């Protein structure tokens, strides 16, 4: 009897030990969604590349406390309808404790109620409209809000480029409408004058009527509140028409794709960024990214890398605390955790928001350089 009891206790101990080991090695799943096809897919590619680069490093180092991290990737095609669809797929997948996405405020807002209902934190690397973080306690951003960015936009064209009379073509979407209104207000508050604002339909290619209006208005500066695709065509047609006034742009133009598409017409364009690949302190990240993807990382890659870093740090704190690893516990750690020093500045959430200081860059000789 004693021998039988000993064997039963030993078997039970082995079962419990194996069960604990299995739980310790169980993968942790993070959802990811952005536009990986269609217009502006370069932004989504930067996101995915950076998140995968970060998680590859985590897994190579043994995972999060011995647990590997799995990334569930979905393409929302920059469509609010598709973003809602892929958000439902992510929350329905077993074991998802965090979601990263999307690129645009419009797509991120469409997904937000689904993550909030599922009690899973959503970190958007770039959604800048203030409404995003107001959706619920489960929405977080890595980028500055548009009201902060509007002042940086005004500083770019009015203070750095010394333009006093300004024209602003803007994208006809949620981001563009808010950006032009807030940027124009900041410019005029600082003593400048906005002569002309004009909406640009996404995918537009013929800007000659708009260029004619700008020539007639005679501004001494143009601010491009446009994605890289439309901005690159616009600046080419503006320069071809002989309009050589200084031009500035917001964070969408920090993508190397803008320079690639615009060519020489991009020379002299000034942008503000919270990441510069030429910063020596970012060398390890830049070298790793170049080695894997054969290109320099842009601000969007850096923001997504930081989103993954902030999220993994929160997950690690939950596991080490001994609390159950759930979407809710990860959300609570994001909201209440310590400051995270990242590539794009310090992340310390306040109602899901952050504030990061800008660096001003100029396009010269086919690349971005610090503005003197």
CATH of the domain at 245: 3.40.50.2300
Residue 339: the pLDDT is: 96
**Tens-place pLDDT, residues 160-170:** 999 999 999 99
Mean pLDDT of 131-152: 95
Specify whether 86 is located in the same domain as 157.
no
Domain count for the chain: 2
Domain-ending residue, one of 273, 293, 314: 273
Residues 152 and 297 both lie in one domain = no
Question: For 225-239, what is each residue's pLDDT tens digit?
Answer: 999 999 999 999 999
Provide mean pLDDT across the span 124-146.
95
Q: Can you give the pLDDT at residue 9? A: 47
Helices 146-154 and 174-189, axial angle in degrees (round to 10): 50
DSSP 364: E
Q: Clarify whether residues 176 and 250 are in a common domain.
A: yes
d(CA 286, CA 335): 29
Q: Is the pLDDT of residue 301 over 90?
A: yes
Is the same domain home to 34 and 86? Answer: yes
In the numeric block, which tokens belong to residue 193? 């004058």
Structural domain boundaries enclosing 158: 147-273
Q: Determine the pLDDT at residue 15.
A: 43
Bond before 102 cis per omega within 30 degrees: yes
Least confident interval from 34-48, 109-123, 259-273, 298-312: 34-48
Overall average pLDDT of the 109-125 stretch? 98
Which of 177 and 7 is assigned the larger pLDDT?
A: 177
- Residue 72: in which H helix or E strand, if any? strand 69-75
What are the pLDDT digits (tens) for 61-105?
Answer: 999 999 999 999 999 999 999 999 999 999 999 999 999 999 999
| 45 and 20 housed in the same domain | yes
Return the minimum-mean-pLDDT range out of 4-18, 44-58, 78-92, 103-117. Answer: 4-18
Inside any domain, residue 365: no
Residues 16 and 58 in one domain: yes
Residues 160 and 40 in one domain: no
pLDDT band at residue 335 using 50, 70 and 90 as cut-offs: very high
DSSP line for 284-317 = HHHHHHHHHHSS---HHHHHHHHHHHHHHHHHHH
């Amino acid at each position: 009897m004693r021998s039988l009891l000993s064997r039963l206790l030993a078997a039970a101990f082995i079962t419990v030990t194996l069960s604990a080991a299995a739980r310790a090695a169980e993968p942790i799943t993070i959802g990811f969604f952005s536009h990986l096809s269609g217009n502006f897919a370069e932004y989504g590619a930067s996101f995915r590349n950076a998140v995968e680069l970060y998680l590859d490093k985590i897994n190579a180092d043994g995972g999060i406390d011995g647990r590997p991290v799995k990334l569930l990737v979905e393409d929302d095609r920059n469509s609010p309808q598709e973003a809602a669809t892929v958000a439902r797929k992510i929350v329905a997948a077993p074991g998802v404790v965090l979601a990263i996405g999307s690129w645009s405020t419009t797509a991120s807002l469409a997904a937000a109620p689904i993550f909030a209902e599922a009690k899973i934190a959503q970190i958007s690397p770039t959604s800048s409209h203030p409404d995003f973080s107001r959706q619920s306690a489960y929405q977080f951003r890595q980028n500055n809000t548009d009201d902060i960015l509007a002042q940086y936009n005004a500083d770019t064209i009015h203070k750095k480029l010394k333009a006093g009379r300004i024209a602003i073509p803007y994208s006809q979407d949620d981001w563009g409408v808010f950006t032009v209104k807030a940027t124009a207000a900041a410019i005029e508050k600082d003593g400048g004058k906005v002569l002309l604002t004009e909406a640009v339909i996404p995918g537009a290619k013929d800007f000659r009527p708009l260029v004619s209006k700008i020539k007639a208005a005679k501004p001494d500066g143009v601010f491009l509140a446009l994605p890289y695709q439309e901005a690159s065509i616009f600046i080419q047609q503006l320069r071809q028409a002989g309009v050589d006034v200084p031009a500035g742009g917001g964070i969408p133009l920090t993508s190397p794709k803008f320079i690639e598409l615009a060519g020489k017409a991009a020379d002299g364009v000034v942008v503000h960024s919270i990441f510069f690949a030429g910063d020596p302190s970012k060398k390890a990240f830049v070298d790793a990214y170049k080695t894997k993807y054969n290109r320099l990382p842009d601000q969007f890659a850096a923001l997504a890398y930081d989103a993954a870093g902030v999220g993994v740090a929160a997950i690690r704190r939950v596991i080490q605390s001994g609390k159950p690893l759930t979407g809710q516990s990860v959300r609570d750690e994001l909201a209440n955790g310590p400051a995270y020093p990242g590539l794009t500045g310090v992340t310390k959430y306040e109602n899901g928001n952050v504030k990061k200081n800008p660096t001003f860059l100029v396009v010269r000789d086919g690349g971005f350089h610090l503005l003197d």
